[in-house]
Chain A
Amino acid sequence: MAITAKKPAPTSAEEFLSGGKAEVHLRDEMEQKTFLLRMPKSLWKTAKAKAQEEEITLHEYILRALKKDIQ
């Protein structure tokens, strides 16, 4: 049995055109969200040291760790 959860109808033709699943997925992959991350200074120091060891930025190191945990 095919069950489809209905989304709210688009309010304009443009919204309909840009609402394709592949488009939304692509946008989610490409677009960036920025937020302030608060962490204990000790964790920050350790992370920074590890990033330096691997010759990557702290940003890249945290992003990679986060992806590993999520995926």
Chain B
Amino acid sequence: MGLCICIGNEKGGTGKSTITANLAVEAVKEGMRVLVIDADSQQSSIDFRGIRADKNGLPQFQAVSIVKNTIHKDIGSFHDFDLIIIDAGGRDTAVFRSAIFAADILLIPVLPSQYDIWATAGTVEALEQAKTFKDNIKARFIVNQVIPNTNIAKEALQAIEEFGIPLLNSRLCVAYKQSIGEGKGVTEYEPNGKAAGEIKSLYEEVKVLWQ
């Protein structure tokens, strides 16, 4: 079985599916065999994969939907993949917890607002509980939709640091929605754009975690 990364936060709208899609694209571009497990009933990752599958010439990843609390058991049977990325979230359910339990690495996207930071406390608590049984889960925060050099951003970063989970250095500041609608990662949609630079930086940082 390959490495398993869970992109999860029980708070909705933090960019889980967008980050999932872009990390999956970066990995397949490097020739990795990638499986995305969509554990969110909204099925955004499945939809993205569906659009992408119709695009000739793009390297493809596979995607399945598992909205059951069996993900941590099911991943053992996916032998043909180097990397499994789980898009998990929305609510603190048994499915969400199963996704965390399955993960070698948990990436928690968070928006720099007080509401989002409060809501993230539940995810951190679930992670701590999961570590009771699987203590080698590496967790990192990803700060998304940052407006750089603002007091709000600085205060939010300080508040996030209080959780005691390391923060990745990469910051996601740019909206990526157009590329998603075309089934592309941002590095394919606008290779020299700022968003592409952010995703490349994020991917490189995440790679260090699994190496």
Contact = CB atoms under 8 A, between A and B. Distances in A.
Interface stretch (A20-28, A42-50, A61-69): A20-28
Interface in A25-45: none
B125 A17 contact: no
A10 B134 CA distance: 12
The interface residues of chain B, by DSSP majority, are classed as helix
Interface residues of B, number: 26
Contacts of A18: 94
Contacts of A13: 101, 133
A21 B92 CA distance: 5
B7 to A, nearest CB: 17
Interface stretch (B78-86, B115-123, B172-180): B115-123
Given A9-B129, A16-B101, A17-B69, A23 B121 contact: no
Nearest to B100: A16
B137 to A, nearest CB: 12
B97 A16 contact: yes
Contact of B92 (A2, A10, A20): A20
Nearest to B131: A9
The interface residues of chain A, by DSSP majority, are classed as loop
Given A16-B130, A16-B133, A7 B125 contact: yes
Given A19-B97, A20-B91, A20-B94, A4 B125 contact: yes
Given A4-B121, A19-B97, A21-B122, A10 B129 contact: yes
Taking residues whose C-beta sits less than 8 angstroms from the other chain, chain A's interface range is: 10 to 19
A1 B120 CA distance: 12
B132 A10 contact: yes
A6 interface: yes
B210 interface: no
Contacts of B129: 7, 9-10, 16, 19
B93 A20 contact: yes
Given A2-B162, A6-B125, A9-B132, A17 B101 contact: yes
Interface of A: 1-4, 6-7, 9-10, 12-13, 16-23
6 contacts: A16-B130, A18-B94, A20-B126, A21-B91, A22-B91, A23-B94
